[in-house]
A and B are shown apart, each in its own frame.
Chain A
Amino acid sequence: MRKVDVIVIGAGPAGMAAATHLAERGRDVVVVDDQRTPGGQIYRGAERNAASPARARILGADAARGAALIAAFRASGARYWPESRVWRVTAEREVSLTRNGRSETLGTPVVIAATGAMERPVPVPGWTLPGVMTAGALQTLLKGDGLVPAEPPVLVGSGPLLLLLANQLIAAGVAPAAIVETSVRPWAARGELSLVLEPVARRDLWRGLAMLAKLRRARVPHYRNATEIRIEGSRRAEAVSFVAGGRRQRIAASLFALHEGVIPAQQLSRSLGIAHDFDERHHAFGPRVDGRGESPIPGILFAGDCVRIAGAAAAEHAGRIAAISALRMLTADPALDAAALADEQRQLQAHARIQSLVDAVYPPPAMLAATPDETVICRCENVTAGELRAAVAAGCAGPNQAKSFLRVGMGPCQGRLCGPTVAGLIAEMQHRSVGDVGYFRIRAPLQPVTVGELADMQDA
């Protein structure tokens, strides 16, 4: 089996910062990422986007920041493996991945998982229809492929990313037909005024206010505190209907972007059997990882939004924290770089506090309880909320039992798109906390591996 000093999974801001730090200190680092170029979700395609005037105008400072990070990463000497997918990590730190159509396994003393976030699933009636995508999907098409909607889309949900997308669409000349916001509580920011005075927070706040101002100038119709959302249409999405301002409204369009914030991608940490805690305020599970990025499994570290959502700037600090922890393990010097570590931790904390402000202003959707029975919750197996409720009423005790009752979570996405909903609905029916209800057991392979790829398995 091939051996390297450190394997980093994910080339977003967290993974790039970790790898750059380690490679600059002479370590043999392999960075595995499924995209074609480095950047992760926020900085997807940043090198190309920063170089293209049409795209840079739309993506603004993010593309430039991403391109600078990527340049440092590329110059660091870290080995970057694009279009490569990790499908298994063991507690013994064997990492199996597919690359160039074949599978291989590497051994390493330290794994840094920086696999990022995913958008929280938004189960509303009609969300499986063609013409309904996530806000992140529209961003991915814009940043990765240079595609923008041909006709104005309707943006539905809540969170800073929805506002960011609206701004990018305006800059691209396809202002949204409307923004339908579900849960926003701007006044909640008042409780956190001391935080607003911190310089890092002030920058984010100004950016948020500037985005809102741009929406108003573009005269995008803006609905707030919308409930009872449904996407209508038979073969494809034709309209969104919702209740706002005390009456039912309907907006016709050909494209709808849903978004209710992002949550840590749990697949890898779950597959390792690491305990996960449910963060009530953010309403999401995250793996139990300490302030140095260390998990309960020796040599398996986590960094960035896959632990706890705190955004791209925080992810860079978390990446360097994990890198320092990795160096401590490799050098068997537990006191290495103590001052640098403390400084990175302090900056990470500042960003985590901003995130708690964001969580207060954009509380998790209270809509699960109101999910109509006919809503598909498991897109793969077409299982509805009503079917899950009936199974729970009939004695189904938790998410893993629901799998055998209903096949929910057994499809190709391995429960990624239904897990949070299943746990939330069961918790509601049983009057328990989501943390107590728990989640699906996840097993490798985390990514589809074909028989052909396995046959080629080279572990020389």
Chain B
Amino acid sequence: MFKRLERGGPTVRFRFEDEEIEAVEGESVAAALLAAGIDTFRTSPLGPARAPYCMIGMCFDCLVSIDGVENRRACQVAVAPGLSVRRQSGARRVG
């Protein structure tokens, strides 16, 4: 769905579900997943699939679980080596 403008630069590896994702240092988890062709972040038995909408922390549609902590906004978290990112399903409750 997205491609990078530039090649090169330091990379970071992390996991999404059972895949290994290579990201560019400094980018957000949401950007790294979109660049890797992942376009569904969240599935829900109650509603349709969702993916990032605003990319600036407003819509909360990019929520994922990161290192076991649910409801993290993927567009607001920078990639870091070894992160373990998972899809969330079902309703989101924050707080």
Binding site for B on A (CB under 8 A): 34, 36, 41, 52, 54-55, 58, 83, 118-119, 128-134, 136-137, 140-142, 144-151, 172, 235-236, 254-255, 265, 379-380, 382, 411-413, 416-417, 445, 448-450
Contact = CB atoms under 8 A, between A and B. Distances in A.
Contacts of B34: 141, 147
A144 B31 contact: yes
B60 to A, nearest CB: 4
B60 A147 contact: no
Given A34-B76, A130-B39, A235-B49, A149 B2 contact: yes
B31 A236 contact: no
A146 B58 contact: no
A118 B54 CA distance: 9
User: Lowest 9 CB-CB distances: which A-B pairs, in order?
Assistant: A130-B51, A145-B31, A137-B55, A140-B55, A412-B94, A412-B60, A147-B2, A413-B60, A145-B27
Interface string B47-69: 11111111111111101000001
Contacts of A54: 5-6
Contacts of A142: 5
Interface residues on B, range: 35 or more
Interface in B1-52: 1-6, 24, 26-28, 31, 34-35, 39-41, 46-52
B55 A147 contact: no
A41 B47 CA distance: 31
Given A54-B5, A129-B48, A147-B34, A137 B92 contact: no
A34 to B, nearest CB: 6
B55 A380 contact: no
Contacts of B27: 144-147
Contacts of B76: 34
Contact of B2 (A150, A411, A448): A150
B39 A380 contact: no
Nearest to B9: A146
22 contacts: A34-B76, A118-B56, A118-B58, A129-B48, A131-B51, A133-B52, A134-B53, A137-B54, A140-B56, A141-B2, A141-B31, A141-B55, A144-B55, A145-B28, A146-B5, A147-B31, A147-B34, A148-B3, A150-B3, A235-B49, A380-B92, A417-B54
A58 B5 CA distance: 10
A236 B50 CA distance: 9
Contacts of B31: 141, 144-145, 147
Given A118-B58, A382-B47, A146 B92 contact: no
A277 B48 CA distance: 36
B21 to A, nearest CB: 14
B73 to A, nearest CB: 8
B84 interface: no
B59 A136 contact: no
A54 B78 CA distance: 23
A412 B71 contact: yes
B24 A146 contact: yes
B49 A134 contact: no
A263 B94 CA distance: 25
A417 to B, nearest CB: 5
Given A134-B54, A147-B2, 19 more contacts: A118-B54, A129-B49, A130-B39, A130-B49, A131-B51, A133-B52, A136-B55, A141-B34, A145-B28, A146-B4, A150-B2, A151-B1, A236-B40, A265-B58, A379-B59, A382-B47, A412-B94, A417-B54, A445-B95
A391 to B, nearest CB: 19
Contacts of B39: 130-131, 236
Contact of A417 (B48, B55, B58, B69): B58
A128 B92 CA distance: 15
A382 B61 CA distance: 12
B63 A412 contact: yes
Contacts of B5: 54-55, 58, 142, 146-148, 172
Contacts of A145: 24, 27-28, 31, 35
Contacts of A265: 58
Nearest to A147: B2
A132 to B, nearest CB: 7
Contacts of A55: 5-6
Contacts of B71: 412, 448
Nearest to B57: A34
B50 A146 contact: no
A130 B26 contact: no
Nearest to B37: A150
Contacts of B4: 146-147
B56 A137 contact: yes
A236 B92 contact: no
A55 B5 CA distance: 8
A214 to B, nearest CB: 19
